[in-house]
Amino acid sequence: MRTLADLVLPGSTVALRCDFNVPLDPQGEITDDLRIAGALPTIRALQQAGSRVVILAHLGRPKGEVSSLSLAPVARRLSELLGSTVAFSTNPSGDQRVIDSLKLGEVALLENTRFDPRETSKDPSERAELAAIWAKWADAFVSDGFGVVHREQASVTEFANMLPSAAGLLVARESEVFARLLEGAERPYTVILGGSKVGDKLGVIESLLPKVDSLLIGGGMAYTFLLAMGLEVGDSISQPDFVDTVKGFLTKAEELGVNLMLPVDFVVADRFAPDATTQIVERSNIPAHSMGLDIGPRTRELYSKVIAKSATVVWNGPMGVFEMPAFAGGTLAVAQAMAACPGFTVIGGGDSAAAVRILDVNEQAFDHISTGGGASLEFLEGKELPGLTVLKGK
């Protein structure tokens, strides 16, 4: 993969694709700036190399211009984190005046690229048309938005093909970590999967099953596994359509000698609410009309023991409804066990990365917290990521 070292930068205007798709509260305040902070090393490297840095990014899934999805608040937060001014262009295709006014080492952010429908067009010629507008003011393209490298979009793929281009430091690091998890992880290798639906992670299970020593299942996906074992799950979230697929995984794990662990107990609730009435039950005793919202204390202990002895651990998907304190204990236990594990520990983006921050676990204790949810899952599925393919070769 081409890196920053492959680009000649001094005096150039570099277009930098970042992932600034941050969560916002109902008032439009940024609630988590992990992704903005993740971009700082590359921005600083480009500033130090003597480039003008013009950043492209998106926020949400706007249809046309939607003021609540403006990147203006991100420009302000970026400026605070960077400790220098960030100019803002309200035009997603770049505003010649703003770009011309930048001195070497200065930074600008363009408005939400998705305000221009060509960014996400299914027609490659429309995407190329938008990229050609950017290419008028840019000398080089740096791809550092790991969260979007699984997308074919103008600012990810077409733009990279139009100019000298390379991976930024974040994309290079994320790629290196996930490549190691896919090929060449040190063993014992443990994968922990949770989250809401098993259907979202079938590809990851399939891809990783032959590579791991232990696969620990939690979260909403556990209940489809219980169905596959012929157990009752009450009103817990489950996907009966996937029971046969999941049965296949159970058989495959046995054939491969993989230690596939399912929760042995759960925290169940009478309704989906923070103040629900809860109880701890064995997995064979989930009452009708109750829903499992977290893994139970015995499961936490069993999983923590496996994690402690692992040389590599990757985790994707919370163990329960961590957004409600009553159901956050399982997620917290797994996060703490990983934080204490001396092996190579990776959190695969999305809600698990958010959970670690919300639950106040020391982030420094992990080797890597990915900024890309969908991208990290697709990487682990062994899929080709178009935004990385365009950066390969010399």
Got the DSSP string for 295-361? E-HHHHHHHHHHHHT-SEEEEES-SS-TTSGGG-HHHHHHHHHHHH--SEEEE-SHHHHHHHHHTT-
Q: What's the length of the chain?
A: 394
**Does residue 316 belong to the site contacting ligand ADP (CB under 6 A)?**
yes
The active-site residue, picked from 343, 350, 372, 373, is 350
| Residue in the block written with tokens 């042995």 | 264
Name the 3-class secondary structure at 47: helix
Residues 6+ apart with CB under 8 A from 29: 73
In the complex, what is the shortest distance from the CB of residue 293 to ligand ADP, in angstroms, rounded to a whole number? 5
Could you tell which of Mg ion, ligand ADP, none binds residue 196, using a CB distance below 5 to 8 A set by kind?
ligand ADP
Closer residue to ligand ADP (CB): 145 or 317: 317
Site for ligand ADP in 344-363 (CB under 6 A): 350-352
Q: Which of 219, 329, 343, 372 binds ligand ADP (CB under 6 A)?
A: 219
Closer residue to Mg ion (CB): 320 or 350: 350
Could you tell which of ligand ADP, Mg ion, none binds residue 316, using a CB distance below 5 to 8 A set by kind?
ligand ADP
**Does residue 147 belong to the site contacting ligand ADP (CB under 6 A)?**
no
- Tokens for 4, please give them: 């920053």
Site for Mg ion in 324-353 (CB under 5 A): 350-351
Could you tell which of ligand ADP, Mg ion, none binds residue 285, using a CB distance below 5 to 8 A set by kind?
none
Q: Which of 145, 263, 317, 387 binds ligand ADP (CB under 6 A)?
A: 317
Site for ligand ADP in 226-255 (CB under 6 A): 237
The active-site residue, picked from 76, 197, 247, 252, is 197
Q: What are the CA-CA distances from residue 333 to residues 254, 269, 365 (Å)?
A: 27, 19, 14
- Count of alpha carbons within 13 angstroms of residue 263, beta-carbon side: 38
- Tokens for 123, please give them: 């027609």
Cα–Cα–Cα angle for 142, 144, 149, nearest 5°?
Answer: 105
Mark the segment that binds ligand ADP (CB under 6 A) among 23-31, 56-64, 281-289, 310-318: 310-318
Provide the phi-psi class of 230: left if phi over 0, else alpha when psi is between -120 and 50, else beta.
Answer: left
Quote the CA–CA distance of 19 and 144 in Å, as a whole number: 7
Site for ligand ADP in 159-218 (CB under 6 A): 194-196, 200
Residue 35 annotated to the active site: yes
Could you tell which of Mg ion, ligand ADP, none binds residue 318, using a CB distance below 5 to 8 A set by kind?
ligand ADP
**Does residue 296 belong to the site contacting ligand ADP (CB under 6 A)?**
no
In the complex, what is the shortest distance from the CB of residue 351 to Mg ion, in angstroms, rounded to a whole number? 4
Residue 83 annotated to the active site: no
Looking at the DSSP bridge assignments, the partners of residue 165 are 141
- Helix residue spans in the chain (DSSP H): 34-48, 72-82, 96-100, 124-135, 159-162, 169-182, 202-208, 222-228, 243-256, 297-308, 329-340, 350-358, 373-380, 386-389
Residue 374 annotated to the active site: yes
The active-site residue, picked from 17, 35, 77, 127, is 35
Residue 348 annotated to the active site: no
In the complex, what is the shortest distance from the CB of residue 383 to Mg ion, in angstroms, rounded to a whole number? 18
Applying CB under 6 A, the residues found at the interface with ligand ADP are 194-196, 200, 219-220, 237, 292-293, 316-318, 320-321, 323, 350-352, 373
Known catalytic residues are 35, 197, 350, 374
Applying CB under 5 A, the residues found at the interface with Mg ion are 350-351
